[in-house]
A and B are shown apart, each in its own frame.
Chain A
Amino acid sequence: MTILTHNQWSAISTRFYKLWVVTIADRHGWQLAVFITGALLVGALAMWMLMSVPTRFRKPIVMAVTFLGGLILALEFLISTDTWHPLTDFLPAYGNVQMVIGSFALLLGLVNLFMIHAEAVNKRTRGWINSFAFFVAFFAIMIAGFVKDYAAAKAVSGSADSIYTVFFEGFLMPLSSTMFSMIAFYIASAAYRAFRIRSTESALMMITASIIMLGLVPAGQYLTSGLPGWLYWLRLENVSYWLLTSPNMAVQRAMAFGIAVGALATGLRIWLSLERGSFFDRQL
């Protein structure tokens, strides 16, 4: 079941390709500057036109762009040819464009972080020292990174590299892994003060959890290593492996089929902008 054979596809795409090459040939020197400012002007014009679009056309535009964004990946899969077709060749470039545009969103999170901390520093509210420390840390590692890469003098970039490494391995890595490791303390205190076996359900869950926890570590294997040969299947590591690969696998797959259909439903609702209703209208 094929719509267009491979050479028909390539015939069409080569014609487009020639047209494309002429318009986007590389420019250098002053020509480059002209083309870049030209592109900037065209972009600014587009933004201005977008701003003056009447409200009743806004929702259709957002719906159309959302739909088109997904169309390329959907068609790339749904159009079936025996060998290959240009949409697949287009994906690496499509990925690069998404990567670049997406990276510009990095400063989004920073804008309100800067607003909050700048306000704290200006108004000297309680704990403004912390906001000041935020700025120092922010610019210190950024400047060390850039100086490390772009400094001319070997010694300057060498010492910047050492400072950058101290900031990264001495502060950023330990802070983030320590922050995340705190949850182990909360689990321990919850284990003693909050995990209650109140019903058969929680009993079943706790027994399974204990077997699997013991089955993965040497202590568990040692506990049941005394069992004679023919009882090997009662050894903790084997019971834990069976639990994980048989009942747990079946149950995870049951939940997965629910998530699979759920993901398809959510994807459809987003792709076709079907999310409507009292709360969603206000936000999306």
Chain B
Amino acid sequence: MTETMAGWLAHNSTSIIIWCAALCTFAIYSVLYAENRFFRLFEHIYIGLASGYGVYITWSEILGPKWWIPMIYKGQWYWMFAAVAGSMFYFMYSNRHVWISRIIFGFFMGVTAGGMFRGFYEVYFPQIGSSMKPLAPGGHWGWGTVSAVVFYALMFSAMTYFFFSFEHKHPVVATTAKAGRWFLMIGFGAIFGATVMGRLTLLIGRLNFLINTWAPQAESDTRRIWLALVAVATWPRFLWLRVSLAVLAALLVVLLVIYFRRRQDLKQKATGTQD
């Protein structure tokens, strides 16, 4: 039995994926119209999937190969100390011993902070170096000088804007800082334009999926479902199926009528009591 299921799943998984992905996209975009239960449900499914996937991938690609296998199969018993250190994180939840979690958090913050010396050298020494632009590149004064002067004017005025320990009273300093804030606007304009482009690209990616991947899939599936319906409705072979479907439909109609009738009575009783 599992072979047929595995075969069917493997065969149809791409169309199932496309339909589920479209369903999720519509569910999330429905919040644009109004907050609704459909969005709330899929948001929780998202958080659940992300966390569940996190546990699986962390075990299968880090804790498994780098901790469990060396410890159990290769005999490196000392890896158990890593588990003890890892357990210190969870003291965060005990109110008396919360400071023990601060030891392990402190360790990781210290490691990040410890890298600042190399960080400053590797990232900013070349930045300082390439900021030393010759005013006369190649020994002659011309367009190179203009671009170097523009570079220095902009950079130094923008830096002056961010000095806080002395007053910007002196007119030269005050105007440089003012100009600095104006030049900063060019930088923020670039970030603004780039952010708009980035966010639109993400939206275009989703719409492209709906239009060029899901729509053709939906079209071919509806055509297949339609053909199946026509077959069921007309072919003699499916007579018994037609009969049972008709009976089911009738039963459903009856149930619906009863349900709405009862809701009507309940509403009357409620409004009745209010008047």
| A and B in contact, CB less than 8 Å | yes
- B-contacting residues, A186-208, CB 8 Å: 187, 200-202, 204-208
Q: Please tell me if the beta carbons of A178 and B32 are within 8 angstroms of each other in the complex.
A: no
- Indicate which residue in B19, B92, B99, B202 contacts A58 across the interface (CB closer than 8 Å): B99
Report chain B residues within 8 Å CB of A135: 48
Interface CB pairs A-B, < 8 A, 17: A65-B110, A69-B109, A73-B115, A107-B90, A133-B48, A140-B49, A142-B52, A153-B2, A171-B24, A176-B46, A177-B206, A182-B29, A247-B154, A247-B187, A249-B151, A256-B124, A271-B113
Binding site for A on B (CB under 8 A): 2-3, 5-6, 9-10, 13, 16-22, 24-25, 28-29, 31-32, 37, 40-60, 62-63, 66-67, 71-72, 74-90, 92-93, 97, 99-100, 102-104, 106-121, 123-124, 127, 131, 147, 150-151, 154-156, 158-159, 162, 180-190, 192-197, 199-200, 202-203, 205-206, 209
Does B108 lie within 8 Å of A100, measured CB to CB? no
Verify if A108 is at the interface (C-beta below 8 Å from B).
Answer: yes
Answer whether A104 and B87 are a contact pair too, CB < 8 Å, given A169-B17, A250-B154, A267-B116: yes
* B86 adjacent to A109 (CB under 8 Å): no
B92 A137 Cβ-Cβ under 8 A: no
Contacts of A244 in B (CB 8 A): 190
Contact A66 to B80, CB < 8 A, known contacts A101-B85, A187-B196: no
Please name the residue on chain A nearest to B202 by beta carbon: A181
- Cα-based distance from A180 to B83 in the complex (angstroms): 35
Are A175 and B46 touching (Cβ within 8 A)? yes
Contact stretch, chosen from A9-17, A25-33, A222-230: A25-33
A208 to B5, CA, bound (A): 58
A267→B194 CA distance, assembly (Å):
30
Mostly helix, strand, loop or mixed at chain B's interface? Answer: helix
Q: Select the residue from A100, A249, A260 with max chain B CB neighbours within 10 A.
A: A100
Contact B124 A178 (CB under 8 A): no
Contact assessment for B17 and A26 in the assembled complex, using a CB-CB cutoff below 8 Å? no
Known contacts being A156-B2, A204-B186, A205-B192, is A184 close to B44, with CB within 8 Å?
A: no
Q: Which of A187, A216, A260 contacts B123 (CB 8 A)?
A: A260
The answer for the CA separation of A256 and B25 in the assembled complex, in Å, is 38
Complex interface: chain B residues within 8 A of A98 (CB): 108, 111
Q: How far is the CB of A242 from chain B (nearest CB, A)?
A: 10
CA of A101 to CA of B86 in the docked complex: distance in angstroms?
5
* A144: nearest chain-B partner, CB-CB: B56
Closest A residue to B56 by CB, please name it: A145
- Contacts A67-B110, A72-B114, A73-B115 hold; do A209 and B9 have CB atoms under 8 A apart? no
Whether the Cβ atoms of B197 and A26 lie closer than 8 Å is: no
**Known A155-B2, A166-B20, A208-B190: A104·B107 in contact at CB below 8 Å:** no
Nearest Cβ distance between residue B196 and chain A, in whole angstroms? Answer: 6
A170–B202 CA distance with the chains assembled, in angstroms: 17
| CB within 8 Å for A62 and B44 given contacts A39-B81, A263-B116 | no
Report the separation of the CA atoms of residues A245 and B114 in the bound assembly, to the nearest whole angstrom.
33
The residue in chain A whose Cβ has the minimal distance to the Cβ of B64 is A149
Q: Is the CB of A162 within 8 A of B110?
A: no
Q: A70-B113, A162-B13 are in contact. List 20 more A-B contacts (CB 8 A).
A: A27-B77, A69-B108, A69-B110, A70-B112, A100-B62, A100-B67, A103-B58, A139-B52, A146-B60, A158-B10, A171-B46, A172-B53, A175-B28, A177-B206, A184-B203, A204-B185, A216-B193, A243-B190, A248-B187, A251-B154
Given contacts A149-B60, A208-B190, A243-B190, contact A27 B25 (CB under 8 A): no
Q: Which residues in A have their C-beta under 8 angstroms from that of B85?
A: 101, 104
